[in-house]
Amino acid sequence: MTHPPKSGAQLLIDSLKEQGVEIIFGYPGGAIMPVYDVLPKSGLKHILGRHEQGCAMAAIGYARATGKTGTCLATSGPGATNLVTGIADAYLDSVPVVFITGQVPSDLMGTDAFQEVDIYGITLPVVKHSYIARDPADIPGMVEEAYYIASEGRPGPVLIDLPKDVANAVTTERHKWRSYPKVKPAMGSPEHIKICEEMIRSAKKPLFYIGGGIAQGDGVSELRDLVERTEIPVVSTLKGLGAMPSDHEHFLGMLGMHGLKAANFAVQEADLLIVAGARFDDRATGKLDTFAPHAKIIHMDIDIAEINKLRRADIWLEGSLKKNLAALNPGRSSADEWRALCYGRRAQYKWDYEAAQKNVKNGGVYAPKLLHDLTRRAPENAIITCDVGQHQMWTAQHCYFDDPKDHITSGGLGTMGFGVPAGLGAQLGCPDRTVITVSGDGSIMMNIQELATLNRYQIPLKIVLLDNGVLGMVRQWQEVFFDENYSEVDLYDNPDFAELARAFQIDAFTVTKRSEVDAGIDKLLAAKGPILMHVKISPNENVWPLVPPGRSNADMMER
């Protein structure tokens, strides 16, 4: 069957529209120019970032906030290599994004041509799948398959590399590719479900240990229902925050290196861990052979490769978390003494913000209280995107989250510079919601150019910049573990961030004292357009608790 003649570039754009793509984050260049030539008449909304890494992080923020697959476009050579950190970030956090890169013409590939790199080879370790287009007739099937692979099962990034001659070539053919029927995800066997139920019923100290897979597997409501029915306490990883509301009666908080004391103590004493969508990451477990030493393990995950990878499970339920959580019906746990112990500790170790902020000298700002108050006063469905560092841990410890899509941060890769572009992507994906980015003075400088993107499209992102004049997390480790040998952490020459934001035509103001915080929060939340609240804090404030590397989660250091 012949079709109307179309170029590879036009077939790409048509195929993106067929996949339901609405927004593309991208940056043009020579090799991808044929695609940009047909883009203006496509009806697709293109967001021009100011750096390809910013475009990648924006696509990730969009995908995580909406649950849709993100789309990112860049040219060959440096355009493609600038995407690599974003691709790796999406891979480690299991985020569905299709990255499309231009490439030099096919006959020049392998000749070290101008702006040629083997982006296919460079990214092989950090993609779920990748393609090099060789024939324009393959593009519709290739794009359909790419979006299917990115979102099915455990999500992840997919790369399409498009040589310039293939983008320019005109064809009347459409090669038939494999069809992908909607496959219902598998679930654990009835026998394994029954064994799990009996283990839960007989446990004296059961505990849910939940991760980012809960949201990605659409299992939030099923988890909450199971927790309500069993009344078993819950701890969460960084990416699992929000799967249980932060103030839920059965939620103990985040576990791990900067986890809350009630959560870490519960893990160390549990006799059964019900692990759902978590992978025993080192930041959550501490020294692995001391993690939950008395616990049997029920492990639920859609990715069979995660089961028995780091901790041997006594029983596992592979496949759909949504189905497996719904299938479990062990009844209410009889572990009343355990519940009383866990909830008593939660009350005992509850943060005393008023007492803690008195330790900040000269009426200075206490960042944890600011973040706590901010999310309590923000609209109910506000989204927080976050950079990486001390402010990231304070956000995890002290902000309120009612849904896992409310909390978007770089987990597995720990990418500084993530917060602002992820925030603008989340805001474009959810225009009716309040989106707040929490950043630090080290992180924000890594993608500061995206303030220009905020201004160009008047994206009403609200930025809270915590500025302590140092690389705070590195400084804290040098203080605690390297005998206060402060090596290359002093950011004494930071710009005036409020003035810098205003240079980008972003509204901005500075808060330096505790007495200014309430009015600052009001001004931030009332803003109709993009705004930056520059908050000066002491470099001496650290994140507590802290589990030293190579130690058990029970060995928490405090102030």
Element containing residue 502 per DSSP (H, E)? helix 497-503
**Is the Cα torsion angle 423, 428, 430, 432 positive or negative in sign?**
positive
From 6, 68, 128, 164, active-site residue: 164
Spatial neighbors of 137 by CB under 8 A, at least 6 apart, are 171, 173, 174, 175
Length of the chain: 559
Structural tokens at position 215? 């949201």
From 6, 52, 261, 446, active-site residue: 52
Structural tokens at position 75? 């040219």
**C-alpha span between 440 and 418 (Å, rounded):** 11
Is cis: bond before 545, omega within 30 of 0? yes
Q: Are 65 and 386 within 8 A, CB to CB?
A: no
Name the 3-class secondary structure at 128: coil
CA distances from 450 to 63, 105, 252, 457, 526 (A): 18, 31, 36, 11, 22
Residues of 477-492 as b/e, b for ≥16 C-beta within 10 angstroms?
Answer: bbbeeeeeeeeebebe
- DSSP secondary structure code for residue 512 in this structure: -
**C-alpha span between 315 and 222 (Å, rounded):** 20
From 18, 45, 114, 499, active-site residue: 114
- DSSP secondary structure code for residue 414 in this structure: -
From 17, 22, 33, 115, active-site residue: 115
CA distances from 111 to 77, 104, 108, 116, 384 (A): 13, 10, 6, 8, 45
- Is-catalytic flag, 164? yes
Structural tokens at position 207? 């505990």
From 473, 504, 533, 541, active-site residue: 473
**C-alpha span between 379 and 454 (Å, rounded):** 21
Name the 3-class secondary structure at 287: coil
Percent helix, strand and coil across the chain, each to the nearest 5: 40, 15, 40
Complete DSSP assignment for 440-474: EHHHHTTSTTHHHHHHHHT---EEEEEE-SB-HHH
**C-alpha span between 370 and 294 (Å, rounded):** 38
- Is-catalytic flag, 114? yes
**C-alpha span between 209 and 264 (Å, rounded):** 11
- Is-catalytic flag, 280? no
**C-alpha span between 447 and 428 (Å, rounded):** 18
Count of beta carbons in the 10 Å neighbourhood of residue 528 = 8
- Is-catalytic flag, 473? yes
With CA atoms as reference, report the closest residue to 464 among 398, 509, 513. 509
Residues carrying an active site annotation:
52, 114-115, 164, 473
